[in-house]
Amino acid sequence: MVSQDIRAAAALLKQARSVIVFTGAGISTPSGIPDFRSPHSGLWTNADPMEVASIYGFRQNPAAFYNWIYPLAKVTLAAKPNAAHYAVAELEKFGNFGAVITQNIDMLHSRAGSTTVYELHGHLREATCIHCFAVYPAEPIITRYLEDRRVPYCPGCGSVLKPNVILFGEQLPIQQLLGAQDAARKADVMLIVGSSLEVAPASDIPLLTRRHGGKLIIVNLEPTPLDSLAELVIHADAAEILPQIVSSLETRV
């Protein structure tokens, strides 16, 4: 059954004029980074994310935010791309590839070699001062925080630094969003990997592809609200399925 699905996915990707990939936290769980909504992932269970992971919560209590993001930051800095990220990067060699749109902040698509990546929810590459907007590389800041657990402050003005991740209540980065929307409208196949598709407005992007006549392929462990709109749904581990789809494409070239 799954091998039939893999062949069907490869056929859809091969026929497309423009393929894009849309990913969520599930593509990075095989790299050891927990997602938010899988049962027992832990990231949702110990704190109310609408409080600690919102811009209002951050401004009121940055220490609670840093305390909450600590496990994610720690595993993210240590994580490596997995077979699914590498398979996505390999899709670029087939000539009809548009872009990767990701909700992840872990930078693993770029590290796997994908060249056009729209990071809708920001990234852990940089941190910005909430007062003077000076930008600093995030890695040394996070590393120091992991050692001393003290909220990082701007060396220039003394205000709190915030990693460039988009919190609840914040606008998505406009250039990233416009680029992603444009790619989604042009795509005739969108491969969706490891997203519960429950976080708007990012989760509206597959609908743009659909509305413009494109087809959706979903690879996700659990059902999603868009399964009924998809051409093909594969409920399985992305790190197993994506390399098989790429191999199947290679044998068809």
Cα-to-chain-centroid distance, residue 144: 25
Task: Choose the one of Zn ion, ligand NAD, none that binds residue 78, judging by a C-beta under 5 to 8 angstroms depending on kind.
Answer: none
- Residue 135 C-beta: closest distance to Zn ion, Å: 10
Q: Is 115 helix (H, G, I), strand (E, B) or coil?
A: coil
Residues 197-216 as x/- pattern, contact with ligand NAD by CB under 6 A: -xx-----------------
Which residues lie below 8 Å from residue 204, measured CB to CB, with a gap of 6+? none
Contacting ligand NAD within 109-148 (CB under 6 A) = 121
Closest distance between ligand NAD and the C-beta of residue 106, in Å? Answer: 4
# binding residues, ligand NAD (CB under 6 A):
29
For position 33 contacting ligand NAD by CB under 6 A, the verdict is yes
Considering the rule CB under 5 A, would residue 154 count as an interface residue with Zn ion?
yes
Q: If binding is defined by CB under 5 A, does position 135 make contact with Zn ion?
A: no
What is the rounded CA–CA span in Å between residue 234 and residue 224?
A: 11
Residue 88 is encoded by which pair of tokens?
């996505």
Taking the C-alpha atoms of residue 153 and residue 128, their distance in angstroms, rounded to an integer, is 10
Residue (93 or 144) nearer to Zn ion, CB? 144
Between 134 and 232, name the residue whose CB sits nearer to Zn ion.
134
129's contact among ligand NAD, Zn ion, none, with CB below 5 to 8 A by partner kind, is Zn ion
Q: Rule CB under 5 A: say whether 132 interacts with Zn ion.
A: yes
Q: Choose among 82, 87, 76, 71: nearest CA to 122.
A: 76
Of 156, 201, 223, 225, which lies in the binding site for Zn ion, with binding defined by CB under 5 A? 156
| Partners of 67 in the β-ladder | none
| Enclosing H/E stretch for 88 | helix 83-90
Site for Zn ion in 101-130 (CB under 5 A): 129
Residue where the block lists tokens 């606008």: 171
Quickly tell me which residue has 């402050």 as its tokens: 153
Residues that bind Zn ion in the complex, under the rule CB under 5 A: 129, 131-132, 134, 154, 156-157, 159
Q: Give the interface with ligand NAD as residue ranges (CB under 6 A).
A: 24-26, 28-30, 33, 35-38, 43, 103-106, 121, 194-196, 198-199, 219-222, 237-239
